[in-house]
Amino acid sequence: MPPARPHLVAAAAVLLLLPLAAAQGFRGFSYLLSCGASSPVTDGRGLRWDPDGGYVSAGAPGAVSLPGLVDPTLATLRTFPLRPGAKFCYELPVDRNRRYLVRPTFFYGALFASSSAPPPPVFDLIVDGTFWTAVNTTDDARAGAASSYEGVFPASGRNMSFCLGVNPDYTDAGPFISALQVIQLDDSVYNATDFPTSAMGLIARTKFGSTGGIERYPNDSFDRYWQPFPDNKHAVSSTQNVTSADFWNLPPPDVFNTAFVAEQDAPLVLQWPPVALQNDSYYVSLYFADTLPDNSRTFDVYINDYLFFKDLNVTSAGLSVFATQWILSGLTTIILKPASPSALPPLINAGEVFGLFPVGRLTYARDVLALESMKKNLQNIPEDWNGDPCMPSGYSWTGVTCDEGSKIRVISLNFSSMGLSGFLSPDIANLTALTDISFAHNRLGGSIPNLSNLRNLQRLHLQENQLTGSVPETLGTINTLREIFLQDNNLNGTVPENLLNKTGLTYIFLPGNSFSPQPPH
């Protein structure tokens, strides 16, 4: 049985459309990125799309060669290497505790133009520590079309990471992306969703009875795409001055100018959304406005034979009904039944359906800050050192191992032979759950920081670098330490007695250092 009674929101009498932000048309932190572009491009609506290079450190820009390509935002793309388990992330400054519409677009273009070409790669989408969905653009690519995905996510910090994940179970090619929109939503939009625990993935957003193109910006202030759903038998057009500013979801007023209307004395039966759904909870929002001025009609709304709303009184001012956790499974049928045989036939103007999925956990904040500090002091770092260091599962940074207990902690750093240079940040000592550290066989300079806070550290491998200075005596205070390899650096001074005399410790200090006196081999 559906778990939640739907809510009703009526329109107000005064139209208060969102003010347009300077130049771009969106308020707050919003991004329109043309991936792989070297300079801004302007689309047919006058919106400027900026190059993505300032927000991503990985991948290679490329051009799409396809005759007749109209949309300039799809003329370029960014491709990423095939590195199983790696995620490549865009880092976008945002307002903390706000929610954002995220819409990536993928267009394979001429890369899949011939029948002999391999299919497009399949890969994962990840936002912060949350697994979103797998991207499979094969069907759209065969038709020469672009693929777009849309989700609504809460911002948990000052930056939001949008990532493409390389899952070796899917494909043998690296991911790609053509365009990325990240648009801040007003607080009222979809506000009944429990965003601290859930994110939303769009299933369908539809304008019923429309024979025109997609309804979007500037009619929709957030550039949501309202797909037309024509039906010659039931479609009705009207010109309504619906004032939609007091609808929580702020639909564009024009979606109320077309509708499906039932025949007299008959229900309106509509299969929508047009895809089969997995058995799960969904956010469902339906929009209604009487097509006759200063008129109203009453009817019941059913979804898959369950009563969604009884005696819904629809006026020309418009209203919406929504449920935040409505159980759906398989193909969905919307049924609008007249309240009485003599009543005006029921109608519907628009609808939205989102799938709900859990917001992923994040790495312990202190560990994240420590790793970010380490990044700033290192050069030649791996391309996938962006986004959450540990999450989602299977997508930790290269060389980072994590424990997913009550807090998600970093427990091991294995950066051996990565070609790293720079020096070790003292903030590595804030990774207090570490048991293993290896920076062996790199080109690190500087001194060994104080690691005495690492009370669980068992192995410290820093051999074959260019470290200078002395060996800190504080290393001998770490009771758990079992291995320390420091050979082939430029260390000097005296090796602390509390290391040389430490029971159960395996150490290698020579050759390659200038200790006086020389420690035993």
DSSP symbols for 214-281: -B-TTTSTT---BEEE--TTTEEE-------TTSTT---GGGGGEEEEPPTTS-EEEE-SSS-EEEEE
Q: Do the domain assignments include residue 2?
A: no
Q: Which domain-ending residue is among 342, 358, 374?
A: 358
Spatial distance between the Cα atoms of 314 and 59, rounded to a whole number of angstroms: 52
Per-residue pLDDT at 113 exceeds 70: no
As a whole number, mean pLDDT of residues 463-471 equals 97
If one counts every other C-beta atom within 10 angstroms of the C-beta of residue 296, the result is 12
Question: Is pLDDT above 60 for 254?
Answer: yes
- The boundaries of the domain holding residue 77 are 30-185
Contact in structure between 81 and 89 (CB atoms under 8 Å): no
Residue 99 near residue 190, CB atoms below 8 Å: yes
Question: Which pLDDT band holds residue 115 (cuts at 50, 70, 90)?
Answer: low
Kindly state whether residues 82 and 179 are assigned to the same domain: yes
- Chain-centroid distance of CA 64 in Å reads 25
> What's the average model confidence in pLDDT over 328-339?
95
Does the residue 66 lie in any domain?
A: yes
**Domain-ending residue, one of 327, 358, 389:** 358
Give the per-residue pLDDT at 68: 65
Is residue 471 in a domain?
yes
pTM of the entire predicted model? 0.91
- CATH assignment of the domain containing 112: 2.60.120.260
- Within this chain, do residues 332 and 370 fall inside the same structural domain, yes or no? no
Distance CA 100, CA 105 (A): 16
User: Domain of 484: which CATH number?
Assistant: 3.80.10.10
The amino acid that residue 179 corresponds to is A
Could you tell me if 373 and 504 lie in one domain? Answer: yes
Q: Are residues 156 and 267 in the same domain?
A: no
Instruction: Identify whether residues 397 and 423 lie together within a single domain.
Output: yes
> Does residue 110 have a pLDDT over 60?
no
Q: How many domains does the chain have?
A: 3
Could you tell me the CATH number of the domain that includes residue 261? 2.60.120.430
Q: Do 170 and 117 have their domain in common?
A: yes
Mapped onto helix, strand or coil, the DSSP state of residue 53 is helix
Q: Are residues 349 and 380 in the same domain?
A: no
**Is 353 found in the same domain as 274?**
yes
Q: Which of 157, 185, 213 is the last residue of a domain?
A: 185
Residue 79 CA to residue 383 CA, distance in Å, equals: 13
Percent of the chain with pLDDT over 70: 93
Task: Tell me: do 424 and 468 sit in the same domain.
Answer: yes
- 207 and 349 share a domain? yes
pLDDT digits (tens, 9 = 90+) for 345-377: 999 999 999 999 999 999 999 999 999 999 999
Residue 140 amino acid letter: D
User: What is the model's pLDDT at position 20?
Assistant: 27
Same structural domain for residues 268 and 244? yes
Q: Which two tokens stand for residue 8?
A: 């009703």
Structure confidence at residue 280 (pLDDT): 96
State whether 353 and 373 are in the same domain. Answer: no
